[in-house]
A = this chain, B = another copy of it.
Amino acid sequence: MSNNEKDFVKEVTPQAEDFSQWYLDIVLKTEMMDYAPIKGCMAIRPYGYAIWENIQHLLDRRIKETGHKNAYFPLFIPESLLQKEAEHVEGFAPEVALVTQGGNEKLSEKLVVRPTSEAIICEMYARWVQSWRDLPLLINQWCNVVRWEKNTRPFLRTSEFLWQEGHTVHSTEEEAQEETLKMLGVYQEFLENELAIPVIPGQKTEKEKFAGALKTYTIEALMADGKALQAGTSHNLGQHFAKVFEIKFQDKDDELKYAWTTSWGVSTRLIGALIMVHGDDRGLKLPPRVAPVQVVIVPIITKKKRDEVLLRSKEIAEELRGIGLRIELDDREEYSPGWKFNQWEMKGVPLRLEIGPRDLESGGVTAVRRDTGEKSFLPSESIPSQVPLLLQEIQDTLFRQALEFRKRKTFRPVDYNEFKRILEEDRGFLLAHWCGNSRCEEEIKAETKATIRCIPFDRDPEDKGPCLYCQKEGQLVYFARAY
């Protein structure tokens, strides 16, 4: 390793030294984002945005395959509309941005910049839903939302963020519940297969549910520092919004009935999850399915063989682009190969192909995996078949590693003391009995900063035990400190 290269790696704070600083070093130095001159806001730079575009592309397909269509609703919500649903306004009013002036005039009614769109969408749905024939109404939108956050962190919590929010209307309670769980399932499958992030699906407690929801479901992921991240939520809104916004329909039996609604969303926070689940001290490690660059080709240029090496590099780049892969050919001559290796490793490119005079002679390329560091030689004729296989292996390995990490970091403390000790030493998920009382939940949070992440779907109803806090009989839930 040359001095240059050491400096390069040194730019990133090691995870073990300061995970939080490591995260900030990564997002800035890989040029995923930059801070903007507005409190808590960021500019998402092309390298970060390309990940979001891949997420959008892969998730949008699933949203459409499950029968939803995209639409677009206004950015602004009249304050009076937000106030209609009591719990909803209580949850969101403290963190909204308000427009009070428009076109040089003071507005007669303040406009809320949407923190989420239930209010404006339900207002429109009340007009569009008349009969059972109009149901189910299955709509999604991709947009920006604003929540005036006190403590912000790039991608994880920003005053403005990008997301998708699905909003559906159904004629029966059962159908709304089915939709709520179906979309949570879509999120789980999407995170596990595309982002290589294993998640625990479950229900939120009353205390942690969405403001205005009947029931909130969540998928929870574990970051490399042992903290949990809520990666996506799906809400059964019951008839709460239908009743205050008057979403009614003439049913087949000719009766006028209130409808049942749901909403569900994931956001640019997923980019933060990708970074914190897979990254290491050398930088990002992006799963091939969402990596902006799946393969970087680095020609090892020597004076003698310069043209041959460059020509062969271009041929391989074209060949791989031809089979639909996202390829970067880094033929800049002002940087050394070693410098480029480090840079592309930091940017988390899953696979590097090196092509030098010796590779030319041997009739192939050297392939280096970002996940394991493993090197292999690929004979020319095998490149178009081997590269996709290697990428699939990397995708699978990242998922397996994350799953193994989560298993290793999931604990079953025997009592509250052990619970607190684990939180201090290891963090991770703590599967423990809880009596179901919000009071215990709140005390535990106040004393340990750990919250109930979810009541898991797969808990064994027979597995009962004393509540971590009050000793009354309880059932298993996942606790963790969380982002």
Contact = CB atoms under 8 A, between A and B. Distances in A.
A139 B46 contact: yes
Given A124-B36, A124-B43, A72 B101 contact: no
Nearest to A104: B94
A216 to B, nearest CB: 23
Interface in A36-50: 36-39, 41-46, 49-50
A69 interface: yes
A123 interface: yes
Identify which of A52, A74, A94, A104 gathers the most chain B CB atoms within 10 Å of its CB. Answer: A74
B99 A72 contact: no
Contacts of A387: none
A100 interface: yes
A418 interface: no
A36 B104 CA distance: 22
A37 B76 CA distance: 9
A146 to B, nearest CB: 7
B70 A43 contact: no
A22 interface: no
Given A99-B98, A103-B96, A148-B102, A111 B72 contact: no
A422 interface: no
Interface in A233-278: none
Given A71-B43, A103-B96, A78 B139 contact: no
Contact of A97 (B73, B99, B139): B99
A310 interface: no
A110 B46 CA distance: 28
Nearest to A103: B148
Contacts of A97: 76, 99, 101-103, 111
A38 B150 contact: no
Interface string A170-211: 000000000000000000000000000000000000000000
B120 A78 contact: no
B104 A34 contact: no
A53 interface: yes
A97 B39 CA distance: 18
Question: Max chain B CB contacts within 10 Å: which of A36, A53, A77?
Answer: A36
Contact of A34 (B45, B113, B124): B124
Nearest to A69: B46
A160 interface: yes
Contacts of A159: 102
Interface string A8-51: 00000000000000000000000000101111011111100110
A59 interface: no
Interface of A: 34, 36-39, 41-46, 49-50, 52-53, 69-78, 81, 93-104, 110-111, 113, 120, 123-124, 127-128, 133, 139, 143-144, 146, 148-150, 159-160, 162, 334
21 contacts: A38-B74, A38-B76, A38-B77, A42-B74, A43-B73, A46-B69, A49-B69, A49-B70, A53-B70, A74-B160, A75-B113, A75-B146, A75-B160, A76-B97, A94-B104, A96-B103, A98-B99, A98-B102, A103-B148, A103-B149, A144-B144
What 10 A-B pairs come out closest when comparing CB atoms? Answer: A103-B148, A46-B69, A98-B101, A44-B72, A41-B74, A102-B148, A97-B102, A36-B74, A100-B100, A49-B71
Given A38-B111, A39-B102, A41-B76, 18 more contacts: A36-B120, A43-B72, A43-B73, A44-B71, A44-B73, A46-B71, A49-B71, A52-B72, A72-B162, A74-B160, A96-B103, A97-B111, A99-B100, A102-B148, A103-B148, A103-B150, A133-B334, A144-B144
